[in-house]
Amino acid sequence: MAVSVETLPTLVSDEVLIARRRERRIGFVVFTGLAVLAFVVPHEVPSWMDTGIQRWAQDRYRWSILNRESALIFRWFFNPVTDALNWSVEHAESWLLALRWPGVVAVTAAVGWRTGGVRAAIIGAAAMGGVGVIADWDLAMRTLAIMLVAVLIALLLGVPLGILAAQSDRFERVLRVVLDTAQVMPVFVYFSPLQVAFALKFAPAVMATVIYALPPAVRLTNLGLRQVPVVATEVAESFGSTKLQRLFKVQLPMARRSILLGLNQVIMMAFAIVVLAALLGTGDLGQEVLKAIQKTEVGTAFAAGMGVVLLAVALDRVTTGERPAHRLRLLNWLPRVPFRVAGAIAVGGAVATVIAARVFEWQQFPSWLTIDIAPTIDGWFDWAKNNVRKGVPVIGGTQAISDFLTTWVLDPLRDFLWWLPWLVVVVGLAFVGWLSKGWRLALTVTVCMVLIGTMGSIPGGGGRVTLWDLAMDTLSQVLVAIVLSVLIALPLGILAGRSDLVERLLRPFLDIAQVLPQFVYLIPVVFLFSIGRAAGVAACVVYAVPPCIRLTALGMREVAMPPREAAISFGATGRQEMRFVQLPLARKAILLGINQTLMMVLATVIIAALVGAGSLGLVAYEATAKPNVKLGQGVAGGLSIVLLAIMLDRITQAWGTSPDTDRRT
Amino acid sequence: MFRGKRRIFAAGLLLATFATACGDDADSTVAPASTTAGATDSTEGSDTTEAGSDTTEAVADTTEPSAPSEACPTSGEAITLAVNPWTGSAVNAYVAKSIIECELGTPVEIIEIDENATWVGLDDGSIDAVLEIWPSGHAADFDTYIAGKGSVVDLGPLGPSAKIGWYVPKFVVDAHPELATWEGFQNPELAKLFATAESGDLGQFTMGDPSYVTYDEQIIANLGLPLKYVVAGSEAALLTAIDQSIADQKPILMQFWQPHWKQLEVELVEVKLPDISPACEAALASQDGTYACDYPVDELYKAANAGLEEKNAAAFNLLKNLQLTTEQQSEIAGYVDRDGMSAAEAGQKWVDANAAVWQAWLS
């Protein structure tokens, strides 16, 4: 390989090299020995390893059903929280409805103007107005109310947790496992328990959203605080500031960007599960999506889903309000007014609109402004049905791709993983972990995989199937989905990283793909790929590609100019510069993108189960489907997904960090 | 500069929202019923007017049959009825809503909710009643809440019965009449018509939503059929697979049921499975995995929170007496599935036209 800037040879003494070579040799010997041993012991997961976690979870669930009136934790904790949450959402909703639609749009614009300037105001207001244009306004306000409460709670919990995590490494490590669990554990697993704890409608919906959306708030607060230069903190310290003063006056303001990015991610995650929360009877836009899906009305589902997307965009642009470095060219002809006057205009405008809306009885969103996009979408879908599935030259269409994927990729990979003795899989993955970072990672991987072995078995296939076997099925699908996502996303990300035009063209699609409720594309995916694992893989890919493209493009863009310019001045062609300078320098960001892709794929395993992928996702889904019998199984399935995720996550993260740092020391 | 402006700004917004919140009471009384007639209005508006006497005739605005009639004046604590995501469930609830509101003067709140989530609501009383339960899918819930904890009570049969079974599209039976019974599937060549990439050499048997009851895996194994059981994972996926099958004229074998709106749209034929034998009844009771017969008929039933009788005896009594025949229910469901009415309109239309039927429920 050519010498890239990043991997320039550094000075390493001979002793270190020899020691490393010896360690490497020991590793190979140890792992070969373990692999041989693994072939000798029983090939199946022994039944004595079953820890009975399924039974334990099932019993706890049953206990809480039987004792939800009398148990103290219900009377003193769950019930008051339930009431408070319902109260908050109901009041938020009635306020939003009282503001009337012009008022909501005007307030959105005013807040956007305050946080992000004219641009944010316009985009926010346009998106909010767009909600009324393509979806039902009143239902949208209910969704917005739920989301506002959930996002607020996620921030109130997440930022302090992030601050704590930034103070203590040990706390951070523990918290990280908890957050990984929250992010990857399928919502369906804790749906029924949440209902038992928080009854129906808003309270459990808010709680589910908070659990799912909390991790980025904690993570990015922690990250932001840790990235504050030590110098800044030390200066503050030398001026005699207290710890709290340092936190609030120096560190938090300096971490502002990161925290705002966290807020952005919280909003995106929260809106992504609006539809699932609707299963609890929220009666909002998410329910519209569900109802349409039930009747296989793709267009209607898409319209309601787009309402959700626009709400998310409005909330996101207005709250995170990134201020563009340069003013919009279009805005240059506007008269420049002092900040104070502009503020007065914005606030005054908002107040005036609200009052006008009340005076003129603008109650419902005017029907002449609404557009029914459902028929258009249905038309597109019909076209795709007839032209994409079959008869496409060369590749043959999505059905052929699906059949190929199932027969020649998914089947062999799964059968191979099933054929391997289970301990060989454990040792093999531990070996990958050791290669990636070292003994510590090998140990983490081993623990994760062995824990999957302790999850027991469930009835199925005319006998009993171990969770291990299901996990191998899932693993095969996940690996295929990750490879496909990366294959699609990397080129697009690189392109977007080098061309503004491509990035601008891609952006709305990425926004939509990330926030559009996954339920919306359930039907198209089934129609194009047929029920089965290939459809599941397709669903995962749709969801996982956007973050990968985003992070790749971001990584490419953040490469500093000097080395790139230097390369060009030395006569490198554009392509050479990209290949040998920009790409290697963006490597870490790209690997982070792959890591995120992986988490997304694992978070989508549950949706894949709804289109026929079976395996762990289906087991987890059944926790909601038949909680009185299958909650325990669901918990075991969900935990297995989490363990797979943690294992894959730690390995890919090691790729992004370790080799370089190792080599430099 | 930062802080001063922020304060002005906050004050302004606060003012604006107060202005709206305070003005609210004033015009909620003049708000026309049409703006709040949505099914989900619950937070406000329940305190609008005093109850009319409950002897008033059903206020049917016969001028416009398609529009939902004016809500009857109601008062008191609302009763919450659950609607699960299928037409039958919705029309039952709206028939009941119309009668309870107009005859008993009690407001009825409809909550659209997942079938399994319904039970937790019935348990704690956040749902007062649900009018259509398919017993086959909820045996465990029955044991837990009705027979066990006693927090939910059985309100008796709804009337219509439903039937789960094995279905194929009609074109399959037209081409291969022997596939109308399960014996036809013993032939590997015929079973292979249903093969997919997922099922390989076997025929694929498709199951929809895993929350529905299924003995299909047992039936396939115990009858020794060359079929592979594949779970589609959701009803939507199953319905899409039917569309796909019709579009391609590619056979599909699946678990499906009657009544379902899809049956009006495409022609499906139920595959004859062995009649229910004593051995199968025993297998059902013992859950030993030896079931090899047809699905039992589902006698739909109603259930309520145990506290409903105390909360509103009249409504409890009405819901207990409420019964529809299969024909009546499919007539109302037809208004929705065939004629495109909303469930509320369909329920009202039937109530307006069939006073004689429901008057009997009030006694």
Residue A479 within a domain: yes
Residue A534: pLDDT over 80: yes
Question: A100 contacts in B (CB within 8 Å)?
Answer: 20
Does the beta carbon of A58 lie under 8 angstroms from any beta carbon of chain B? no
Residue A454 within a domain: no
**A272 and A368 share one domain:** yes
| Cα-based distances in Å from A572 to A276, A454, A564, A575, A582 | 52, 56, 9, 8, 12
Task: Report percent pLDDT > 90 for chain A.
Answer: 15
**A288 and A402 share one domain:** no
**A410 and A269 share one domain:** no
Of residues A294, A533, A625, nearest to B210 (C-beta)? A625
Cβ distance B236 to A462 less than 8 Å, yes or no, reads no
Q: Can you give the pLDDT at residue A325? A: 46
Average pLDDT over residues B44-48: 38
Sign of CA dihedral A616, A617, A622, A623: positive
Distance from CA of A297 to the nearest CA of B (A): 10
pLDDT-based confidence at residue A272 (cuts at 50, 70, 90)? confident
Residue A58 within a domain: no
Closest CA to A391 of A383, A379, A399, A403: A399
Residues 109-128 of A with CB under 8 A from B: 110-111, 114
Residue A334: pLDDT over 80: no
pLDDT digits (tens, 9 = 90+) for A63-92: 888 888 777 777 788 888 988 999 999 999
What is the overall mean pLDDT for chain B? 79
Q: Would you say A374 and A302 are in contact if contact means Cβ atoms under 8 Å apart?
A: yes
Distance from CA of B192 to the nearest CA of A (A): 16
Does the beta carbon of A358 lie under 8 angstroms from any beta carbon of chain B? yes
Counting other chains too, the contacts that A628-632 makes at CB distance below 8 Å and 24 or more residues apart are: A628/A62, A628/B140, A628/B141, A628/B143, A628/B144, A629/B140, A631/A57, A631/A58, A631/A61, A631/A192, A631/A193, A632/A53, A632/A54, A632/A55, A632/A56, A632/A57, A632/A58, A632/A59, A632/A61
| Terminal alpha carbon distance of chain A | 22
Distance between CA atoms of A189 and A605, rounded to whole angstroms? Answer: 13
Residue A217 within a domain: yes
Sign of CA dihedral B321, B324, B329, B335: negative
Cβ distance A358 to B121 less than 8 Å, yes or no, reads no
Distance between CA atoms of A564 and A574, rounded to whole angstroms? Answer: 10
Closest CA to A218 of A153, A275, A272, A271: A153
Q: Can you give the pLDDT at residue A228? A: 81
Q: Is A364 helix (H, G, I), strand (E, B) or coil?
A: coil
Cβ distance B23 to A68 less than 8 Å, yes or no, reads no
Distance from CA of A526 to the nearest CA of B (A): 6
**A344 and A411 share one domain:** no
Lowest mean pLDDT among A508-522, A580-594, B37-51: B37-51
- Between A12 and A42, residue with greater pLDDT: A42
Q: Can you give the pLDDT at residue B128? A: 92
pLDDT-based confidence at residue B1 (cuts at 50, 70, 90)? very low
Distance between CA atoms of A296 and A304, rounded to whole angstroms? Answer: 14
Question: A195 contacts in B (CB within 8 Å)?
Answer: 117, 120-121
**A361 and A400 share one domain:** no
Comparing alpha-carbon positions, the chain A residue that sits nearest to B148 is A66
What is the overall mean pLDDT for chain A? 83
Q: Can you give the pLDDT at residue A547? A: 82
Q: Can you give the pLDDT at residue B65? A: 36
- Between B226 and A596, residue with greater pLDDT: B226
**A404 and A291 share one domain:** no
Q: Can you give the pLDDT at residue B46? A: 38
**A485 and A603 share one domain:** yes
- Between A521 and A146, residue with greater pLDDT: A146
ipTM: 0.82
Quote the DSSP letter at residue B29.
T
Residue A125 within a domain: yes
Residue in B25, B219, B240 to test binding to A, most A beta-carbons within 10 Å: B240
Distance between CA atoms of A220 and A217, rounded to whole angstroms? Answer: 6
Distance from CA of A652 to the nearest CA of B (A): 30
Comparing alpha-carbon positions, the chain B residue that sits nearest to A115 is B6
Does the beta carbon of A414 lie under 8 angstroms from any beta carbon of chain B? no
The structural domains of chain B, ordered by start, are: 47-151+306-362 (3.40.190.10), 163-297 (3.40.190.100)
pTM of this structure: 0.83
Range of the domain at A543: 395-420+463-657
pLDDT digits (tens, 9 = 90+) for A443-478: 999 999 999 988 888 887 667 788 899 999 999 999
Question: A350 contacts in B (CB within 8 Å)?
Answer: 12-13, 16
Of residues A347, A461, A612, nearest to B233 (C-beta)? A612
Instruction: Report the domain count for chain A.
Output: 2
Residue B27: pLDDT over 50: no
Bridge partners (DSSP) listed for residue B168: B269
pLDDT-based confidence at residue A665 (cuts at 50, 70, 90)? very low
**A227 and A279 share one domain:** yes
Sign of CA dihedral A617, A620, A623, A624: negative
Residue A446 within a domain: no
pLDDT digits (tens, 9 = 90+) for A91-117: 999 888 877 888 888 888 888 877 777
A303 Cβ contact partners less than 8 Å away, ≥ 6 residues apart:
A134, A135, A372, A373, A374, A377
**A284 and A196 share one domain:** yes
pLDDT-based confidence at residue A416 (cuts at 50, 70, 90)? very high
**A315 and A414 share one domain:** no
Average pLDDT over residues A619-632: 86
pLDDT digits (tens, 9 = 90+) for A164-181: 998 888 998 889 889 988
Residue B58: pLDDT over 80: no
Q: Can you give the pLDDT at residue A207? A: 92
**A244 and A160 share one domain:** yes
Comparing alpha-carbon positions, the chain B residue that sits nearest to A400 is B197
Distance from CA of B204 to the nearest CA of A (A): 10
Distance between CA atoms of B253 and B196, rounded to whole angstroms? Answer: 11
**A414 and A365 share one domain:** no
Q: Would you say B336 and B87 are in contact if contact means Cβ atoms under 8 Å apart?
A: yes
Distance from CA of B274 to the nearest CA of A (A): 20
Question: DSSP letters along B166-212, please?
Answer: EEEEHHHHHH-GGGGBGGGGGSHHHHGGG--TTTTTSEEEEE--TTS
Average pLDDT over residues A514-521: 81
A369 Cβ contact partners less than 8 Å away, ≥ 6 residues apart:
A132, A133
Question: A290 contacts in B (CB within 8 Å)?
Answer: 85
Residue B31: pLDDT over 50: no
Residue A67 within a domain: no
Residue A248: pLDDT over 80: yes
CATH number, domain at A285?
A: 1.10.3720.10
Question: Can you list the alpha helix ranges (DSSP code H) found in A499-532?
Answer: 500-515, 522-529
Lowest mean pLDDT among A277-291, A434-448, B177-191: A277-291
Closest CA to A451 of A649, A184, A180, A646: A646
Distance between CA atoms of B323 and A17, rounded to whole angstroms? Answer: 85
Q: Can you give the pLDDT at residue B66? A: 36
Residue A250: pLDDT over 70: yes
Q: How many helices (H) and strands (E) does chain A have?
A: 31, 2
Does the beta carbon of A533 lie under 8 angstroms from any beta carbon of chain B? yes
Residue A37: pLDDT over 60: yes
| Cα-based distances in Å from B127 to A454, B81, B314 | 39, 6, 17
pLDDT-based confidence at residue B301 (cuts at 50, 70, 90)? very high
Residue A531 within a domain: yes
Category of B167 on φ-ψ map: left (φ > 0), alpha (ψ -120 to 50) or beta: beta
